[in-house]
């Protein structure tokens, strides 16, 4: 997660994006992924992916990933409100 969303992520956004996607995939395929901690980690990594996609100019892909992040997130995920606000700004949530 450090490479995915740490302070150095902006230096190599493509590499950070791959790291974020790796976290999402690892949690999605983990046998015991239904823990709240892992669900939140996956959602955090997915949201970081959305931001990285936007920074790379891939706005449509970013909006689609953001919609998936919200749809798949737990209602208890601390980042859910911010993610919904970000989606509303894209106009994709309408």
Using one digit for the tens of pLDDT, what is the confidence trace for 70-88?
999 999 999 999 999 988 8
Question: In the structure, what pLDDT confidence band is assigned to residue 41 with cuts at 50, 70 and 90?
Answer: very high
CA distance 55 to 35: 30
- Global pTM reads 0.86
CA distance 30 to 64: 24
Q: Which residue has the higher pLDDT, 64 or 1?
A: 64
Residue-level pLDDT at 40: 93
User: What's the mean per-residue pLDDT of the chain?
Assistant: 87
Sign (positive/negative) of CA torsion 77, 82, 84, 86? negative
């Amino acid at each position: 997660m450090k490479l995915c969303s740490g302070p150095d992520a902006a230096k190599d956004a493509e590499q950070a994006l791959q790291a974020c996607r790796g976290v999402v995939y690892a949690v999605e395929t983990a046998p015991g992924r239904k823990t709240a901690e892992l669900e939140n980690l996956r959602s955090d990594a997915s949201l970081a992916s959305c931001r990285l996609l936007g920074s790379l100019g891939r706005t449509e892909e970013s909006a689609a990933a953001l919609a998936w992040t919200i749809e798949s997130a737990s209602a208890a995920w601390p980042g859910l409100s911010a993610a919904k606000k970000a989606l509303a700004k894209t106009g994709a949530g309408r």
